[in-house]
């Protein structure tokens, strides 16, 4: 897939980026996810991104000049009760030391360009579901507008068992 909007410091990830992407995925998971990190699942998403003819395509954008400072992964998905596809952000992460850079906004601009109508993007709605800090929520609000849904996470595990 070619993106026709040029976004500073953002490019499509390649197979050579896999080690750096795995490191970022571990960091993202430690900061924003539940459960145990699965390297196999992360590699599967990357495989789908690096193999354009896959049945469940994913697109990974990376930002940074000398090393990967951040990445965003978007996949084509469908809702549970519909066949209408949309673009779902699987992760959007910038290294803590680079969070004052424009990388986070540039990566969201990249994802929005994928959602734009053809010939710029593929013309699907973009959805972001994430456990985020208040600061990240404010960035999403500025970039994507006010949220149309909320999510709750109920944890029935007693605190002392964790």
Q: How does pLDDT run along the chain (162 residues), one tens digit per residue?
A: 444 466 878 999 999 999 999 999 999 999 887 789 999 999 999 999 998 776 668 899 999 988 999 999 999 999 899 999 999 999 999 999 999 999 999 999 999 999 888 888 888 999 887 766 777 778 778 888 887 777 666 667 666 554
* 28 Cβ neighbours under 8 A, 6+ residues apart: 91, 93
Alpha helices of the chain — where are they, by DSSP H?
A: 18-32, 39-50, 103-115, 134-144
Global pTM reads 0.82
Domain-located, residue 56: yes
Residue 63 belongs to a domain: yes
Instruction: State residue 43's pLDDT score.
Output: 96
Residue 109 · residue 81 · CB < 8 Å: no
Tell me, what CATH number does 81's domain have? 3.40.630.30
- Does any domain span residue 162? no
- Across the chain, which distance is largest between two alpha carbons, in Å? 54
Residues spanned by the domain of 18: 13-144
Residue 150 lies in a domain: no
pLDDT for residue 160: 59
pLDDT in the model for residue 154: 66
Residue-level pLDDT at 12: 92
Rounded distance between C-alpha atoms, residue 12 and residue 97, angstroms: 22
Q: Is residue 55 part of a domain?
A: yes
- Residue 4 within any structural domain of the chain: no
Total structural domains within the chain: 1
């Amino acid at each position: 897939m070619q993106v026709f909007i040029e976004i500073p410091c953002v490019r499509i990830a390649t197979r050579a980026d896999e080690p750096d992407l795995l490191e970022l995925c571990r960091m993202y998971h430690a900061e924003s996810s539940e459960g145990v990190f699965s390297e196999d699942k992360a590699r599967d998403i990357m495989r789908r991104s690096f193999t354009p003819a896959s049945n469940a395509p994913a697109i990974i954008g990376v930002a940074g000049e000398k090393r990967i400072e951040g990445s965003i992964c978007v996949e084509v998905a469908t809702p549970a009760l519909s066949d209408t596809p949309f673009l779902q952000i699987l992760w959007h992460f910038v290294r803590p030391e680079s969070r004052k850079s424009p990388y986070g906004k540039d990566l969201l601009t990249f994802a929005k360009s994928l959602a734009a109508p053809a010939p710029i993007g593929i013309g699907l709605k973009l959805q972001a579901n994430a456990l985020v800090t208040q600061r990240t929520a404010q960035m999403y609000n500025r970039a994507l507008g006010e949220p149309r849904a909320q999510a709750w996470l109920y944890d029935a595990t007693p605190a002392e068992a964790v």
